[in-house]
Chains A and B, each alone.
Chain A
Amino acid sequence: MHRIAPTVLTAFLLAAALAAAVRAQAPGEQALAEPRRAVEAPGEFQFARLAYSANSYGRGRGWGWGRRQMWQTDWPDAEHHFVKGVGRLTRVDAATDGHVLTALDANIFDYPWIYAVEVGYWQLSDAEAAQLREYLLRGGFLVVDDFHGTFEWAGFMASLERIFPDRPVVDIPAGHEVFHAVYDLDQRIQIPSRMFIYSGVTWERDGYTPHWRGIFDDNGRLMVAINFNMDIGDAWEHADWPDYPENMTALAYRFGVNYLIYTMTH
């Protein structure tokens, strides 16, 4: 008893501090009401990646000190390669370095584009979901990528429904502007991860068919682009790997550029 009491007390205090911290950052309260300095960006477009807490199934990749969180998948090579492609293929003034943010980072509102991978394992708190909802309603754009099959879809939806409990996820029609903003992307080809090189299959788990899905705002504008059963991030990341199919990388660049130009115009 003599040794347990301080432990319980410490745990209680830590929990209270954590709750206070989360509450302090809840959208619509202090975190949003307080004046915030604008972020001076190194370019008009800076690739922002969402850092999130994973659920119990998302243990990350690798082992020991090299172990990486799920959100770190493909980081930083994917965006490093992609933004160079953006600079080369468009007139977007793109910053060469990406930026990582959590959903509760107040500076998220300075990055109207944000990208998240392995979202089959993301686990958003109520505060994070609320802030992402606010971010998207103000005009932010979220691209999610690299999750496959029924199980990961369920994991993805568990948190997505906390962001938008009342907005449906729908398949983006083939004629939608996002597939034609720069490139006319009429074919729906599954863009595989690098495992394709070893296995020869483009699908993972039971995600045999790629789906381009999305969530739209009240004015019919796409605000969440969902790359399901595909891995565009891997195609960006391995653009410099000779064994990875060049046509897949090129297609992934085109999807990325279309997403970017779409969100910079809608």
Chain B
Amino acid sequence: MFEALFRYPRSTFERGEIVFTAGWPEWLVPLLAVLGVAIIVSFLVRSRKRAASRQLLIIGVLQTALLALLLWVLRLPALETEKLREGENAVALLLDTSASMRYGTERARIDDARRGLEMVVAGDGLDLKLRRYEFDQLPRPVDAWSAGDPSGTETSIAATVGRVLDESRFEPLAAIVLASDGADTAGGISEAELAEIASYGVPVHTIGAGREIMPEDLELSDVQVPDRALAGSIVAARLRIRHDSGGTARVRVHAGDRLLAAQNVELDAGNGTTVAWLDIELFERGPQELEFTLEAVDGEQEQRNNRRSALVDVQDEDYRILYFEGEPRWEYKFLRRAIDGDEGLQLVSLLRVSPNKYYRQGIESADELADGFPSTREELFAYDALIIGSVEAALLTAEQQRMLADFVAERGGSLLFTGGLHGLGNGGWGQSLLADALPARLPPLESPSFFRRRATVRPTPQGLATRMLRLAESADDNLEAWRGLPEVADYQLIGDLKPAARTLLVGDNGIDEFPLFVNQPYGRGQSYLLATAGTWRWQMSLPAEDQRHETFWRQLLRSLVASSPQPSRLTATGLPGGGIALRAEFRDASFAPLDEVRVAAVVSRADGASWSVPLAMSDAERGVYTGELDPGESGTYYAEAVAAREDSAVASARSSLHLDVGQAEHFGIRRNATTLMRLAEATGGQYLAEPSPGQLVDALRYSGSGITDLEYRPLWNLPAVLLLLLMIKSAEWLLRRRWSTI
């Protein structure tokens, strides 16, 4: 319809500019316009006795419109477009030959891509040089498409397009046509890369290959487990499963030959991705390689994307938690009992028994805490988490309060306050130097907030979702376990919550509901408020064999320490191209960044191969050193970074990872139309979901890139113009007949 009225495609109008070819002097148009308007006005004045004012106004408007249209036509308008100069431009055809292009039910998606590339540029009178490239990580110019199976181990669309544009700098390039499934396994196309590609001004047209929906395929897209864990602890693994149909998927986790966990996951049919959590109990110390496997579904063609590996370093050393308590109370006793025998957690406690006497438990030496609460950062920061019980803030000096805040914000430790007669608001913590770190604006000291009254404890939806409050494995059992807990017999009001706070447990005294367990991030760490000292009732009111009280405290304390960073940390991460990125962070005992050190890492593989990698100081972060290594093979790698000053080591850190080189092509095998559309839109190209013959001929001819000539297409004789002229004059004639003014 558009072309019937306007003769040329819409895209031609979008690219072109309207110019007038009659060559009239600039003063002529206003003169003719004034003359025409004067004639129209004169006519209307003479007709005023035969028609009403409203009728004259309408006729005047129609005649003026006709005059304007006539003037426009008489100036001979034309559409100015840039047309490729015949025989002097090139088009780059890019064919994805990575391994993922091998997929397909009836024929491989690479066959469709080859055919599509040739099809869309085939057209009459299009005289362009065709430059053919095959690509995976980078483009390779070819005279003709290879016939073999695609086997590239990585797809990098951004690098490929960038390289082709760069190499074509001295050759007029009209456009790039890229055929791919869009599975960019080199980390995707960033906005910066997209902007750089667009800056060349060469349109990139994209042709999609493969299917976007693959109901017969399950994919374990991602597995996340903590880098390190305590021996004997349960770690929660987060799995992301890609699927295009509902049902149940079974996941198994092995460490070597030993089955560690198995679980059915319900796949949400209305959502292409399901996230599931899996608990794994880890016993053996040292690095453990966990193999996650999704059981294949019927007819599943590619099962390599059903497996992923992850490495967890099961720690030898204990985490140490300092518990500072201001009065002897049952919560203290039962908290200590709850984690008795929990290997990996060491609770060091300092209890104010009387105004002049402190009682210490769990200490490593007679000197530890001998002078009371730590007074230096080194001493305090040696602990991984802190618990402050029924203690008045005034018991600590201003410097100690600042250290507590820094413990969370700078050291990245976790701080848990529990309710009590002298705790939280009653202890003046709301007015302390630590107030900013707390997730609530505590009531003032003069407003008593601790009550020895009964309350039931209930987890919020957020609380039920968090691992630290899980009392049973399944969601239903967990809810039931919480519902069956006895009441506590004291609670404390904590005032208004801060914006970043989240409530995990609420208390209910039968009249009001109030937050009982809340937390918020603060700097590098987390702060928590548990506004009761009555969880010991769970232990005393339930049968001796019931483990809910122990489970609650063990998991809570493990969660507190799990995120606590060590002063020296090394992170090894697999890079999309098969390399390893190393990031070491070194801090001293007070967690101040170590700057003036030389850092080198030694990376070794199980077969004995090893590499020495110097790490360079980061410009962006103090105390951080980075480096990369490309070992080129899959396997388990162990890395140790050592920071040295004047030839003596001052700190070291270890890490490990499992590297899967070349496996990326078997993940994300569905067509990623989003990537292809983004690339086309950003460069002024078109995304062709279903290519058809000659589809790009016109787009290429008028692409505006390369060597072009100006082409003028007349517009005065458009059918739309003639039709408009006829309509205006007919309308005037019909109206004047009706009003009998003729």
Q: Which residues of A contact B (CB under 8 A)?
A: 28, 32, 35-45, 89-93, 109-110, 112, 134, 137-140, 181-182, 219, 221, 260-261, 263-266
A130 nearest CB across to chain B (Å): 12
- Tell me if B353 and A110 are in contact (CB < 8 A): no
- Asked if B489 and A39 make an inter-chain contact with CB atoms under 8 angstroms apart, the answer reads yes
- Known interface pairs A35-B486, A91-B353, A139-B337. Does A42 touch B541 (Cβ–Cβ under 8 Å)? no
Chain B residues with CB below 8 A from A37, complex form: 454, 487
User: Which residues on B sit within 8 Å (CB–CB) of A93?
Assistant: 327, 329, 421
Distance of A193 Cα from B542 Cα, bound (Å) = 39
Q: For residue A35, give the distance in angstroms from its CB to the closest CB of chain B.
A: 7
Tell whether A91 pairs with B326 under 8 Å between CB atoms, given A39-B489, A140-B540, A266-B333.
yes
Does B359 touch A at the CB level, under 8 Å?
A: yes
Beta-carbon contact of B421 and A44 below 8 Å: yes
Q: A210 CA to B249 CA in the complex, in Å?
A: 69
Q: A44-B330, A91-B355, A266-B333 are in contact. Are A137 and B340 (CB under 8 A)?
A: no
Of the listed residues B352, B355, B488, B489, the one surrounded by the most CB atoms of chain A closer than 10 A to its CB is: B489
Q: Is the CB of A139 within 8 A of B539?
A: yes
Given contacts A35-B486, A41-B489, contact A91 B453 (CB under 8 A): no
A221–B544 Cα distance when bound, in Å, is 15
Complex interface: chain B residues within 8 A of A134 (CB): 543-544
Q: Which residues of chain A have C-beta atoms less than 8 A from B336's C-beta?
A: 265-266
The contact of A40 among B326, B332, B337, B453, by CB within 8 Å, is B453
Separation of A241 and B334 alpha carbons in the complex (Å): 38
A91 close to B327 (CB less than 8 A): yes
- Closest chain-B Cβ to A213's Cβ sits at a distance in Å of 22
Asked if B148 CB lies within 8 Å of chain A CBs, one says no
* A264 adjacent to B330 (CB under 8 Å): yes
Chain B residues lying within 8 Å of A264, measured Cβ to Cβ, are: 328-330, 332-333
Q: Is B328 within 8 A of A92, CB to CB?
A: yes
Nearest CB in chain A: distance from B704 CB, A: 79
Q: Is the Cβ of B351 less than 8 Å from the Cβ of A265?
A: yes
Determine the chain B residues whose CB is within 8 A of the CB of A110 once the complex forms: 489, 537, 540-541
Chain A nearest Cβ from B532, distance in angstroms: 11
6 A-B residue pairs with CB within 8 Å? A36-B541, A44-B328, A140-B540, A219-B341, A264-B328, A266-B337
Query: Known contacts A39-B489, A40-B453, A266-B336; is A138 also within 8 Å of B540 by CB?
Result: yes
What mask results when residues 349 to 362 of chain B are scored 1 for a CB within 8 Å of chain A, else 0?
00111110101010
The residues of B that contact A35 with a CB separation of less than 8 Å are 486
Chain B, 305-338, contact with A by CB distance < 8 Å: what is the 0/1 string? 0000000000000000000001111101110110
Cβ of B565 to closest chain A Cβ, rounded Å? 31
Shortest distance from the beta carbon of A233 to any chain B beta carbon, whole Å: 22
**B452 touches A (CB below 8 Å):** yes
**Shortest distance from the beta carbon of A217 to any chain B beta carbon, whole Å:** 10
Inter-subunit contact A112/B330 (CB<8 Å): yes
Considering only CB atoms, which chain A residue lies closest to B544 in the complex? A137
Q: Are B333 and A139 in contact (CB under 8 A)?
A: yes
Q: Which 8 A-B pairs have the closest CB atoms?
A: A137-B544, A38-B489, A264-B328, A38-B487, A91-B327, A109-B540, A44-B329, A138-B544
Q: Report chain A residues within 8 Å CB of B361.
A: 265
Q: CA–CA, A128 to B341, complex, Å?
A: 30
B326, B329, B332, B334: the one within 8 Å of A139 (CB): B334
Given A109-B541, A265-B336: A42 in contact with B452 (beta carbons within 8 A): yes
Q: Shortest beta-carbon distance, A224 to chain B, in Å?
A: 15
* A32 contact set on B, CB distance < 8 A: 543
> Known contacts being A91-B326, A91-B328, A139-B334, is A40 close to B452, with CB within 8 Å?
yes
Complex interface: chain B residues within 8 A of A90 (CB) = 328, 353-354
CB atoms of B341 and A38 under 8 A apart: no
Q: How close is A70's CB to chain B, nearest CB, in angstroms?
A: 27
Closest to A89 in B: B354
In the complex, besides A91-B327, A112-B536, 4 extra interface pairs with C-beta distance below 8 angstroms are A35-B486, A42-B452, A91-B354, A266-B333
Smallest distance from the beta carbon of A216 to chain B beta carbons, Å?
13
Chain A residues positioned under 8 Å from B452 (CB to CB): 40-43
In the bound complex, residues from chain B placing their C-beta under 8 Å from that of A181 are 353, 359
B359 touches A182 (CB 8 A): yes
Most chain A CB inside 10 Å of its own CB: which residue of B328, B452, B486, B489:
B328
Q: How far is the CB of B290 from chain A (nearest CB, A)?
A: 32
Q: A181's closest neighbor in chain B, by CB? A: B359
Complex alpha-carbon distance, A32 and B149, angstroms? 71
CA distance in complex: A38, B357 (Å):
32
A253 to chain B, nearest CB (A): 13
Complex Cα–Cα for A14 and B357 (A): 56
In the complex, the chain A residue whose C-beta lies closest to that of B354 is A90
Contact partners of A36 in chain B: CB under 8 A: 486, 541
Q: Is the CB of A38 within 8 A of B354?
A: no
Q: Are A263 and B353 in contact (CB-based, < 8 A)? A: no
Q: How far is the CA of A110 from the CA of B534 in the complex (A)?
A: 11
Which among A40, A91, A260 has the highest number of chain B CB atoms within 10 Å? A91
Would A138 and B539 count as touching, CB distance under 8 A?
Answer: yes
- Give B438-455 interface residues, CB cut-off 8 Å to A: 452-454
- The verdict on A139 contacting B353 (CB below 8 Å), with A40-B452, A264-B328, A264-B329 known, is no
Query: Which of A112, A260, A265: most chain B Cβ within 10 A?
Result: A265
Contact partners of A219 in chain B: CB under 8 A: 337, 340-341
Inter-chain CA distance A264–B329, complex, in Å, is 6
Contacts A91-B352, A92-B328 given; indicate if A261 touches B359 (C-beta within 8 A): yes
Given contacts A38-B537, A134-B544, contact A182 B357 (CB under 8 A): yes
Residues of A within 8 A of B337 (CB): 139, 219, 221, 266
> Which A residues are in CB contact (< 8 Å) with B330?
44, 112, 264
Contact (Cβ within 8 A) A112 B540: yes
The answer for the CA separation of A266 and B488 in the assembled complex, in Å, is 20
Residues of A within 8 A of B352 (CB): 91
Q: For the complex, give the distance between the alpha carbons of A39 and B353 in Å.
A: 25
Do A112 and B359 have beta carbons less than 8 Å apart? no
The interface residues of chain A lying within 8 Å CB-to-CB of B328 are: 44-45, 90-92, 260-261, 264-265
Identify the interface centre among B341, B361, B486, B534: most chain A CB within 10 Å of its CB.
Answer: B486
Q: Which of B358-407 contact A (CB under 8 A)?
A: 359, 361
Q: Contact: A265 with B359, CB < 8 Å?
A: yes
A260 to B487, CA, bound (A): 24
Q: Could you tell me the distance between the alpha carbons of A89 and B357 in the complex, rounded to whole angstroms?
A: 10
Residues of chain A within 8 A (CB-CB) of B544 are: 134, 137-138
Among residues of B, the one whose C-beta sits closest to the C-beta of A33 is B543
- From B327, B329, B488, A38 is in contact (CB under 8 Å) with B488
Nearest-Cβ distance from residue A31 to partner chain B, whole angstroms:
12
Which chain A residues border B332 with CB–CB below 8 Å?
264-265
A260 contact set on B, CB distance < 8 A: 328
